């Protein structure tokens, strides 16, 4: 269950980044409320995950999911660059996340 909490925390990190973009500097109340709620869920789930998982592993995976998710959402929703150096760097983050998961003994 702790890995599920970590995945939810990562997904909510991506959600609050998108909400922050749409909130226009917290000037749009609906998106601002969404952003704060997603932040709360993300931190709650991360806190649940680190009760069992090593702190460094959980935090690295959480931020990795957020970073990769942010790049993917940026490319898809906001037409951000998708050049090969950027995609290579994101691939390295994914390799690091997978490596952390594979080296963690349950």
Q: Is the separation of the CB atoms in 61 and 6 below 8 Å?
A: yes
Looking at residue 29, the DSSP 8-state letter turns out to be H
Contacts 24+ apart (CB under 8 A), 96-102: 96/60, 96/64, 97/60, 97/61, 97/64, 97/65, 97/68, 100/57, 100/60, 100/61, 100/64, 101/61
**Does the pLDDT at position 103 exceed 70?**
yes
In this prediction the pTM is 0.87
Would you list the domain boundaries of the chain?
2-103
Average pLDDT over residues 58-68: 92
Q: What is the pLDDT of residue 38?
A: 98
Q: Predicted confidence band at 105 (pLDDT cuts at 50, 70, 90)?
A: low
């Amino acid at each position: 269950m702790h890995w599920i909490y970590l995945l939810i925390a990562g997904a909510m990190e991506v959600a609050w980044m998108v909400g922050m973009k749409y909130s226009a500097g917290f000037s749009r109340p609906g998106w601002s409320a969404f952003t704060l709620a997603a932040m709360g869920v993300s931190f709650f789930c991360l806190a649940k995950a680190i009760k069992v998982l090593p702190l460094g592993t959980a935090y690295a995976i959480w931020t990795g999911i957020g970073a990769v998710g942010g790049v993917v959402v940026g490319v898809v929703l906001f037409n951000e660059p998708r050049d090969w150096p950027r995609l290579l760097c994101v691939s390295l983050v994914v390799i690091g996340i997978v490596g952390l998961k594979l080296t963690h003994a349950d």
